Structure 1
Amino acid sequence: MLHGSVRFQLLETEGLSGRSRSASAMAELFAPLDRLLAAGGDSRLTINRASGLNEYGCQPTPCPETLSFSSSTATSISERAYHRAQAAREGLMRSAIDVGIDAALDDRIEEMRDELRAHLGLSPALADVVFSPSGTDSQLQALFLARTLLGPELVTVVVAADQTGSGTVNTARGCHFSAATAHGGQVQKGEPIVGLAQAVTSVALPLFDEAGQTRCDTASDLMVFDAVERAVTGGGKVLLQVMDSSKFGWRAPSDTCLEAITARWPGEVQIVVDACQMRLGRARLKRYLERGYLVIVTGSKFFTGPPFSGAILVPGAFARHLDAAGVIPAGLLEYNSCSDWPQNWPVLRSRFPVRTNFGQWLRWEAAIEEIGAYYRVPDSFRKAALTTFGHAVERLIAASPSLGLLPWQARPLDAADEELAQRTIFSFTIRHGAGPRSLSDCRTLYRALAGQAVADDLEPVTQACLIGQPVALGRDPSPPAALRISASARLVSQAWSPSIDVAHRNLQRAIDDTGAAIANLEALLVRLDESNQWK
Structure 2
Amino acid sequence: MERAALDLQLFEQLLTSGGDERIAVDPSTGRNRYGTPPGKACDEVWFASSTATAISPRGYEAALEAYRSVIHSDDACSIPAWFDRIRARLLRLFGTSGSEVILSSSGTELEIIALFLARSILGGPLTNLIVGPGETGRGVLLGASGRHFLGSAPFVERVARGYLIEGFDIPESTTETVEIRDGCGLALSADTVDHEVVEKVETNIANNRCVLIHLLDCSKTNRSGLRRSTASALMARYGSRVLVVVDSCQLRCSPEQIRADLRAGFMVMITGSKFAAGPPFSGAILLPPKIREQLRCLDMPPGLLAYTAADDWPFALRREIRREFAVTDNFGAGLRWEAALAELEKLFALPVQFRESVIRVFANAIERHVLGNPRLELIDHGAADGFHSARTIFSIVTLAQDGASLAPDAVYRALRAPLRDSSLPKAFERVFHVGQPVSIGNRDALRICLSAPQIVDVAERMAKEQMFEAAVAPLLADLTSLFSKWQHVTDDLCRRS
Distance 1:369 1:520, change over 3 A: same
Give the superposition deviation at 1:434: 5.7
Please say if residues 29 and 89 of structure 1, whose CA atoms lie closer than 8 Å, have aligned partners that are also in contact.
Answer: no
Deviates more, 1:427-436 or 1:340-349: 427-436
Secondary structure at the aligned position of 2:256 is classed as helix
1:51 to 13, 21, 29: 29
Match of 1:293 in 2: 266
The answer to whether the aligner puts 1:524 opposite 2:478 as a matched pair is no
- 5 Å-filtered alignment, 1:227-266, equals 227-266=200-239
Q: What is the deviation of 1:385?
A: 1.4
- Give the C-alpha shift of residue 350 in structure 1: 6.7
Where structure 2 has 5 or more consecutive residues not aligned to the other structure, the ranges are 1-5, 420-426
> Structure 1 residue 110 and structure 2 residue 89: aligned?
no
Within 5 A, what are the aligned runs for 1:297-316? 297-316=270-289
Map 1:368-387 → 2, pairs under 5 A: 368-387=341-360
1:499 CA displacement: 5.0
What residue identity is the alignment partner of 1:523? H
Is 1:359 equivalent to 2:332 in the alignment?
A: yes
Tell me how far apart the structure 2 counterparts of residues 211 and 509 of structure 1 sit (CA, whole Å): 37
Deviations 1:305-357 (A, max 9, x none): 111001101112322321x1342111112211111111222423573424232
Match of 2:399 in 1: 431
Q: CA deviation at 1:30?
A: 8.2
Q: Residues 371 and 197 (structure 1 numbering): CA distance in 2 closer, same or farther, change over 3 Å?
A: farther
Residue 160 (structure 1) aligned with residue 160 (structure 2): no
- 2:312–2:330: 8 Å Cα contact kept in structure 1? no
Equivalent residue, structure 1, for 2:250: 277
Tell me the alpha carbon deviations over residues 432-479 of structure 1, each in whole angstroms, 9 at most, x when there is no partner: 3565525xx1122112212289xxxxxx963110111111012xxxx3
For 1:443 and 1:126, how far apart are their aligned partners in 2?
Answer: 47
Aligned pairs (5 A) from 1:119-518: 119-120=93-94, 122-123=95-96, 125-198=97-170, 199-322=172-295, 324-349=296-321, 351-353=323-325, 354-407=327-380, 409-410=383-384, 421-432=389-400, 435-437=403-405, 441-451=407-417, 462-474=429-441, 479-496=442-459, 497-499=462-464, 501-518=466-483
CA drift at 1:281: 1.6
Give the unaligned 5+ runs of structure 1. Answer: 1-27, 414-419, 454-459
Deviations 1:47-66 (A, max 9, x none): 22222221111112111111
- The aligned counterpart of 1:10 is none
Taking the aligned partners of 2:210 and 2:297, their CA distance within structure 1 comes to 18
Per-residue Cα deviation, 1:412-440 (whole angstroms, up to 9, x for no partner): 99xxxxxx8321111221223565525xx
Of 395-404 and 128-137, deviating more is 395-404
- Count of residue correspondences: 480
Shift of 1:131: 0.2
Give the C-alpha shift of residue 156 in structure 1.
Answer: 0.8
Instruction: Determine the C-alpha separation between the residues in 2 that align with 1:434 and 1:236.
Output: 52
TM-score when normalising by structure 2 = 0.92
Partner amino acid for 1:493?
V
Tell me if the contact between 1:154 and 1:236 (Cα under 8 Å) persists in the aligned partners: yes
CA distance in 2, matches of 1:32, 1:215: 48
Q: What is the TM-score of this pair, normalised by structure 1?
A: 0.85
CA distance in 2, matches of 1:412, 1:242: 12
Q: Is the 8 A contact 2:311 2:330 kept in 1?
A: no
Answer whether contact 2:131 2:226 (CA < 8 A) is retained: yes
Please tell me the residue identity of whatever aligns with 1:200: S
Question: Is residue 58–residue 74 contact of structure 1 (8 Å, CA) maintained in 2?
Answer: yes
Q: State the shift of 1:185 in Å.
A: 3.8
Q: For 2:68, give the aligned amino acid.
A: E
- Give distance in 2, aligned partners of 1:254 and 1:447: 37
Residue 109 of structure 1 contacts residue 361 of structure 1 at CA under 8 Å; is this kept in 2?
A: yes
1:338 touches 1:351 (CA, 8 Å); kept in 2?
Answer: no
Q: Is the 8 A contact 2:375 2:401 kept in 1?
A: no
Alpha-carbon separation, structure 1, partners of 2:134 and 2:447: 16
* AA in 2 matched with 1:59: P
* Matches of 2:118 and 2:107, distance apart in 1: 16
Taking a change above 3 Å as real, the CA distance of residues 383 and 216 of structure 1, as seen in their structure-2 partners, is: same
Per-residue CA shift, 1:45-91, capped at 9, x if unaligned? 02222222211111121111111111111110011111111111111
| Alpha-carbon distance, 1:515 to partner | 1.2
Distance 1:489 1:30 in 2: 25
Inter-CA distance 436–508: structure 2 relative to 1 (3 Å threshold): farther
Give yes or no for contact 2:112–2:146 (8 Å, CA) kept in 1. Answer: yes
Q: Aligned equivalents of 2:411 and 2:142: distance in 1?
A: 29
Q: Structure 1: which amino acid aligns with 2:14?
A: L
Which residue matches 1:81? 59
**Alpha-carbon distance in 2 for matches of 1:412, 1:172:** 23
CA shift in 2, pair 1:161/1:192, >3 Å = same
For the Cα contact (< 8 Å) 1:126–1:289, is it kept in 2? no
Does the residue aligned with 1:471 lie in a helix, a strand or coil?
strand
Give the CA deviation at 1:411: 5.1
Deviations 1:236-280 (A, max 9, x none): 100111211011111111123213322322211111111001111
CA RMSD of aligned residues (A): 2.2
- The answer on whether the counterparts of 1:139 and 1:168 sit within 8 Å (CA) in structure 2 is yes
1:42 aligns with 2:20: yes
- Is the contact made by 2:278 and 2:337 (CA closer than 8 Å) also made in structure 1? yes
SS of the counterpart of 1:421?
coil
What is the alpha-carbon distance in structure 2 between the residues aligned to residue 133 and residue 34 of structure 1? Answer: 16
Shift of 1:503: 4.2
